[in-house]
Amino acid sequence: MITGTGITKTFRQRGGVLGAREVPALRGVDFTIPKCGAVSFIGESGCGKTTLGRIIAGLETYDAGEIVIDGVAMSSLSHRRRQPYFRRIQLIHQDPYSALNPTRTIHQALAAPLALRARQTGRPRSWTDERARELLGLVGLDPDYVLPRYPHQLSGGMRQRVVIARALTVDPEVLVADEAVSMIDVSLRLGVLALLKDLRERLGVSVLFITHDVATARYIGTDGELYVIYRGQVVERGPVETVISAPVHPYTQALLSAIPVLHGLESPGEQRVVPLEASGEHPDGCLFAPRCPFRTERCENERPTLGPAPGQEGGTPQEHACFHPERRSVVAVPVSGR
């Protein structure tokens, strides 16, 4: 199990006439990835999803907070001693084209990490070939066809499967799939999603799914947890089905309003409009207040933190960060005049 508490990250971006500026990418995020779990992070572009995924995979530093992997606090270990823990969390990038070296065959791409694994576990060298074939079979590829080929000779879906097979060479506990199907052909997406779902069931790996799209989050694990992130803060979290069927944060409601089947425009008269694009923010207030049609003076002066959803106090799994949570009819629209 992996837990994070208070994960905070600010990037310092250079350039422009104004000189350097600070971009808060994550503002005290808490999360839990259980064994064999399916956890999804959703939110609009720039909300910090990739940054959080990279931090969880040990590829990015953070300014404050703690990550605990299987009971061991990462802050208590040196950089070198942390590596074996983070190696068990493998990141699958959205771009399977740049993830593989174009000058190496698939056999070469898998042989290097497997040879290392064989050395670490005292297995003979012959094991690496056997294991490469086994892993390719596991991800639904024909080893005889794929092994001698170069990445450019494979489709995007096949390449993403090879990337997943390579991630499996280290026997990971968690696969972090960052928009893992967004760059492959639409007709091949479902197959790769089904593979991730299948690996979760067959190998017991947890899947952390990073996406813009609620439907894919739901597909990966209906028994999973959904975290809705807005400007680096988790504004709602809970079981996927609960959050989708009864969202309480106006931002979650706006995100879901794009799915008319789930959230029909049953009472247009009462609908409130949320602009699609973010505007400024109140320094101490709710981050969503500038876009929120329900904001009050309190929202502009005080920042809500995650707490139980209404009527669910006492050990409820659904939480939100809003002073006025209730079921409402919300629709997201582009900012007028553009």
Closest CB to Mg ion among 212 and 272?
Answer: 212
> What are residue 211's DSSP bridge partners?
42
Q: Which residue lies nearer to ligand ATP by CB, 60 or 302?
A: 60
Alpha-carbon distances, residue 102 vs 26, 129, 164, 183, 323 (angstroms) = 34, 21, 17, 17, 52
Answer with the entry of ligand ATP, Mg ion, none that 47 interacts with (C-beta below 5 to 8 A by kind): ligand ATP
Selected from 46, 137, 293, 311, the binder of ligand ATP by CB under 6 A is 46
Whose CB is nearest to Mg ion?
Answer: 50
Among Mg ion, ligand ATP, none, partner that 150 touches (CB below 5 to 8 angstroms by kind)? none
Task: Please identify, using beta-carbon distances, which residue of 50 and 216 lies nearer to ligand ATP.
Answer: 50
Q: How far is the CB of 50 from Mg ion (least distance, A)?
A: 3
CB of 208 to Mg ion, least distance (A): 13
Candidate ranges 49-57, 85-93, 214-222, 318-326; the one touching ligand ATP (CB under 6 A): 49-57
Contacted by 151, from Mg ion, ligand ATP, none: CB < 5 to 8 Å by type = none
Give contact residues for Mg ion (rule: CB under 5 A).
50
Question: Which residue, 58 or 325, has its beta carbon nearer to ligand ATP?
Answer: 58
Cα separation, 256 vs 258, in Å, equals: 5
Contact between 22 and 11 (Cβ < 8 Å): yes
Residue 90 interacting partner from ligand ATP, Mg ion, none (CB closer than 5 to 8 Å by kind) = none
Beta carbon nearer to ligand ATP, 23 or 333:
23
Q: In angstroms, what is the minimal distance from the CB of 327 to Mg ion?
A: 30
260: tokens are 């008319």
CB of 60 to Mg ion, least distance (A): 12
| Using rule CB under 6 A, residue 50 touches ligand ATP | yes
Q: What six digits make up the tokens of 63?
A: 């300014």
Strands (DSSP E) contained in the chain are: 2-13, 21-33, 38-42, 64-69, 72-73, 89-92, 174-178, 206-211, 225-230, 233-239, 272-275, 307-308, 319-320, 330-333
Is residue 44 a contact partner of residue 213, using CB atoms and an 8 Å limit?
Answer: no
- Reference 56, options 3, 10, 95; nearest CA is 3
Q: Which residues of 134-152 are buried (b: 16+ CB within 10 A; e: fewer)?
A: ebbebbbbebeebbeeebe
- State the binding string over 3-42 for ligand ATP (x if CB under 6 A, else -): --------x-x---------x-x-----------------
Two tokens, residue 106: 């698939």
Residue 253 interface partner, choices Mg ion, ligand ATP, none, CB cut-off 5-8 Å depending on type: none
CB of residue 310 to Mg ion, shortest distance in Å? 31
Using CB under 6 A as the binding rule, whether residue 45 contacts ligand ATP is answered as yes
Give whichever of 136 and 177 is closer to Mg ion, judged by the CB atom. Answer: 177
Would you call 156 helix, strand, or coil by DSSP? helix
Question: In whole angstroms, what is the distance from residue 233 CA to residue 214 CA?
Answer: 18
Is residue 48 within the footprint of ligand ATP (CB under 6 A)? yes
- Give the three-class secondary structure for 311: coil
Rounded-to-integer distance, Cα 132 and Cα 128, Å = 6
Residue 59 identity (one-letter amino acid)? L
Contact residues: ligand ATP, CB under 6 A = 11, 13, 23, 25, 43, 45-51
